[in-house]
Amino acid sequence: MKLISLVSAMIFSVSVMASHNWSHSSNANFISNTGNSEVMTLGLGHTSATRLGKHHDYSFDLFGGYNYGEDAGVKNLNNWNAGFKIGKFINPKTEIYLQEKFQGNEYENYDFRWINELGVIHNFFGGAATSVAAGSDAAAASRVKDADDASAGFDAAKTGLSYGGHFLYVKGAYQAVYEDYVILPTDPDYDKFRHNAVLGLGYGTLLSRNLAFVAKADWIKTLGGDGRSIIEGAVGIQSQLSKLFGLKAEYVLSYNDKLNTVIDPVTMQALKNFSSAYIISLSANY
């Protein structure tokens, strides 16, 4: 089923790209430490977005990212994400959307994750021109170009942040999530298939002509089952170096109140509920 969804997204995107204007954003970040520690991390990500329809009231976004890391020559980070979002603006400030997102993470508590999300986003100011996809993902063609996502495991190439506009939005969504090959917590009510409610808030503004600030936070609550609560947040600034390139500094965090029930099979210690990361990356918007 996941293969069918991915192939369908590719076929649809190719047909759409052939006849519509697109905006694109690509990111790369590289960290190499020597001396007392030898840590290397590489992150890559891409977002493409467009607007469809006679009145440009439909949005379509494609996104993906990959991250790899080593510590003293031993691989300790290997994750990827890919997906698409289709949105419909019911008025200049409100968008309903459907998003399909696929993730894999060798060193988190899942091997494959499939997130189906249906939701609505309302901008208190900023309107459709700065609307941001819930949970994460991509700006439409007439919006500021972005590079995003920081779900569990911090897909460093994508942080869910959309730079360049002045906006304040709130979102609500329903998620159906499937996780495969999970290191099961001790909670007997844990289920690989979960239903989640999502509430989110985001704010962005221009600090100067070439400097933008964005912050966002999502609260994800599992309905039934293990009843987990997850908080995902990100804050960042982007400096526009040229018409094409930008430099970003971002801080992302994640809190999962059930992770301390998961035992790492290597260290045999419980995972931490809270994790965070600092990300410096170079972006190209075109």
pLDDT tens figures, 8-24: 544 444 444 544 588 88
**The pLDDT of residue 32:** 64
pLDDT band at 228 (very low <50, low <70, confident <90, very high): confident
Answer yes or no: are the C-beta atoms of 182 and 109 closer than 8 Å. Answer: yes
Answer yes or no: are the C-beta atoms of 71 and 34 closer than 8 Å. Answer: no
Choice among 1-15, 164-178, 201-215 with the minimum mean pLDDT: 1-15
pLDDT band at 265 (very low <50, low <70, confident <90, very high): low
Cα(124)–Cα(164) distance, integer angstroms? 17
pLDDT band at 264 (very low <50, low <70, confident <90, very high): low
Determine the number of helices (DSSP H) and then strands (DSSP E) in the chain: 1, 14
Show me where the domains of the chain are located: 2-285
| Bridge partners, residue 187, by sequence | none
The yes-or-no verdict on residue 273 having pLDDT over 60 is yes
Range 93-103 average pLDDT:
93
Cα(228)–Cα(198) distance, integer angstroms? 12
Q: Is the pTM of this model over 0.85?
A: no
Cα(166)–Cα(171) distance, integer angstroms? 17
- CA distance readout (Å), 102 to 114, 149, 158: 5, 12, 14
**Token match 């400096």: residue?**
239
Neighbouring CB atoms inside 10 A of 228's CB total: 18
- CA distance readout (Å), 39 to 31, 44, 76, 188, 223: 7, 17, 9, 37, 39
Answer yes or no: are the C-beta atoms of 152 and 220 closer than 8 Å. Answer: no
Strands (E), 33-149: 39-52, 58-71, 74-91, 94-105, 112-125, 146-149
**The pLDDT of residue 182:** 59
Range 204-212 average pLDDT:
88
Which overall architecture, per CATH, does domain 2-285 show? Answer: Beta Barrel (2.40)
The two structure tokens encoding residue 245? 């390139």
Sign of the four-CA dihedral 164, 165, 166, 168: negative
Choice among 120-129, 143-152, 244-253 with the minimum mean pLDDT: 143-152
pLDDT band at 279 (very low <50, low <70, confident <90, very high): confident
The yes-or-no verdict on residue 191 having pLDDT over 80 is no
The two structure tokens encoding residue 152? 């569990």
Cα(22)–Cα(43) distance, integer angstroms? 23
Best-predicted range by mean pLDDT (3-7, 22-26, 164-168, 262-266): 22-26
Over the stretch 57-93, which tens digit does the pLDDT of each residue have? Answer: 899 999 999 988 887 778 877 889 999 999 999 998 8
The yes-or-no verdict on residue 260 having pLDDT over 60 is yes
The yes-or-no verdict on residue 244 having pLDDT over 90 is no
- pLDDT: is 110 or 130 the higher one? 110
**The pLDDT of residue 158:** 37
**The pLDDT of residue 77:** 79
SS3 95: strand
Range 192-212 average pLDDT:
90
